[in-house]
């Protein structure tokens, strides 16, 4: 009998200014892992990376800025994790391990991809907490020929699958993506796609349009003041990356810094107000979600659409999605006991548990990899905590070795 265990998850989506932490109680292991309790916390990011030259252009020449950035993010994540564990009523000693979605700098973007340099947060957090950190979940999938993102399909299956109905999970985060969860079969029968640029792009667009103190439009209150520019919409709809879309998604490097800047330059040449650009962008993203959903579901009736991510707080975007997905029940994941604003942290905790169970968690049909792979790398914590992890991986039990020898 597999006993219950406590896992933590951390996620950084600093491009639109948020940090997430979650503590969960799970039972079972591998394909039978089940989440029993969840507590989460979300904090604003202490640094505005969307306006930072290091983030926008990949300039890492000032290594001191890079180190300072990692330390600042680590301290903020620790604060969020402390609040999450307090809400679950456990101490850090009771956590077996933690999962981490770390940010990364995109260097030399090109048409077919980019090279990403991860911030060294995992080792820093393991040192500060003594908790072993599972991270870099997408690297093995990428090495096996996959896209390396998103790699959270198995976590979505564990959290949201229902044998009574087909469901679609739509994530409105830094990027937008979705997973179709059939009522029958296993997570290897899932379908999914990267929809397109998401909140990170909206934030970069708002920043580039220079709205003064309004460096983002998280709630959509800037976009709702504008109107749709149909000629701009047509230009976006005919983007080569969309025309070459495959069953899994698109190349997001095509919607990066240069594309955002060219959009802003065009708007200034045409005399379009910034409100109109953001309004058009919101409408375009809603259209992308609706079109991708139609392609993904195909002839299957999707009984329910479950929305996760911080984009669900954007009232304007939410209204547009309801209009585009008319006839389908659209609901936030909170209805299913999963806080929508902390789903990435919860997913990372589940992936850490699957790595601990040595369960291949990748879904080749989603990412294009050559086969299922175990996802993640370890940054071992204290000797006692890492011993507990090794004991679990060997025997499937936790000896509860909390104190350092």
Q: So what's the pLDDT on residue 1?
A: 47
**Which of the four pLDDT bands, split at 50, 70 and 90, describes residue 300?**
low
Do residues 101 and 348 lie in contact, with contact meaning Cβ atoms separated by under 8 Å? yes
Which is higher by pLDDT, 197 or 348? 348
Residue 43, burial from CB neighbour count under 10 angstroms (0-12, 13-18, 19+): middle
pTM of the model: 0.91
Residue 77, burial from CB neighbour count under 10 angstroms (0-12, 13-18, 19+): buried
**Region label for 241, one of left (φ > 0), alpha (ψ between -120 and 50) or beta (otherwise):** alpha
What count of other Cβ atoms lies within 10 Å of the Cβ of residue 402?
A: 14
Lowest mean pLDDT among 133-142, 209-218, 256-265: 209-218
Q: What are phi and psi of 211, to 5 degrees?
A: -90, 25
Q: What is the mean pLDDT of the chain?
A: 85
Is pLDDT at 107 greater than 70 in this prediction? no
Element housing 291 (H / E): helix 274-297
Question: Beta strand pairing status for 133-135 and 377-379?
Answer: antiparallel
Which is higher by pLDDT, 287 or 64? 287
Do residues 251 and 197 lie in contact, with contact meaning Cβ atoms separated by under 8 Å? no
% of the chain surpassing 90 pLDDT: 56
Lowest mean pLDDT among 44-48, 263-267, 346-350: 44-48
Place of tokens 């379908």: 191
Q: So what's the pLDDT on residue 154?
A: 95
Is pLDDT at 346 greater than 60 in this prediction? yes
Is pLDDT at 384 greater than 60 in this prediction? yes
**Which of the four pLDDT bands, split at 50, 70 and 90, describes residue 63?**
low
Is pLDDT at 93 greater than 70 in this prediction? yes
Element housing 113 (H / E): strand 113-118
Is pLDDT at 280 greater than 60 in this prediction? yes
Lowest mean pLDDT among 112-121, 159-168, 201-210, 387-396: 112-121
Q: So what's the pLDDT on residue 15?
A: 66
Is pLDDT at 53 greater than 70 in this prediction? no
325/323 Cα distance (integer angstroms): 6
Give the chain's domains with CATH numbers.
5-155+342-395 (3.30.420.40), 160-338 (3.30.420.40)
199/174 Cα distance (integer angstroms): 5
Tell me which range, 59-73, 171-185, 276-290, is most confidently predicted by mean pLDDT: 276-290
Mean pLDDT of 199-215: 76
DSSP SS3 for 10: strand
**Which of the four pLDDT bands, split at 50, 70 and 90, describes residue 14?**
low
């Amino acid at each position: 009998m597999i006993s219950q265990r406590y896992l933590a998850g951390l996620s950084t989506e600093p491009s639109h200014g948020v940090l997430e932490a979650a503590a969960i109680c799970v039972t079972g292991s591998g394909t039978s892992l089940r989440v029993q309790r969840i507590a989460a916390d979300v904090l604003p990011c202490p640094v505005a990376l969307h306006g930072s030259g290091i983030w926008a252009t990949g300039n890492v020449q000032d290594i001191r800025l890079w180190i300072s950035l990692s330390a600042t993010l680590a301290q903020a994540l620790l604060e969020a994790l402390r609040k999450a564990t307090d809400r679950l009523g456990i101490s850090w000693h009771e956590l077996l391990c933690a999962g981490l979605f770390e940010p990364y700098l995109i260097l030399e973007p090109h048409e077919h991809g980019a090279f990403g340099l991860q911030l060294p947060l995992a080792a820093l957090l393991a040192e500060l907490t003594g908790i072993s950190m599972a991270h870099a979940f997408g690297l093995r999938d990428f090495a096996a020929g996959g896209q390396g993102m998103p790699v959270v399909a198995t976590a979505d299956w564990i959290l949201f699958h229902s044998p009574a109905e087909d469901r679609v999970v739509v994530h409105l985060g830094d990027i937008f993506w979705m997973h179709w969860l059939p009522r029958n079969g296993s997570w290897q029968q899932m379908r999914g796609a990267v929809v397109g640029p998401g909140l990170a792009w909206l934030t970069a667009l708002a920043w580039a349009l220079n709205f003064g103190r309004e460096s983002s439009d998280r709630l959509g209150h800037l976009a709702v003041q504008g109107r749709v520019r149909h000629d701009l919409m047509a230009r976006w709809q005919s983007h080569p990356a969309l025309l070459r879309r495959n069953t899994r998604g698109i190349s997001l490097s095509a919607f990066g810094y240069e594309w955002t800047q060219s959009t802003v330059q065009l708007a200034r040449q045409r005399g379009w107000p910034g409100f109109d650009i953001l309004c058009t962008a919101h409408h375009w993203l809603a259209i992308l979600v609706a079109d991708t959903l139609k392609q993904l579901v195909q002839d299957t009736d999707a009984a329910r659409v479950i929305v996760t991510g911080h984009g669900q707080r954007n009232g304007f975007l939410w209204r547009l999605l309801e209009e585009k997905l008319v006839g389908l029940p659209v609901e936030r994941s909170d209805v299913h006991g999963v806080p929508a604003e902390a789903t990435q942290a919860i997913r990372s905790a589940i992936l850490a548990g699957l790595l601990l169970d040595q369960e291949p968690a990748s879904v080749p049909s989603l990412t294009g990899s050559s086969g299922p792979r175990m996802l993640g790398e370890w940054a071992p914590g204290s000797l006692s905590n890492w011993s507990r992890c090794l004991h679990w991986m060997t025997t499937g039990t936790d000896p509860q070795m909390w104190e350092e020898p």
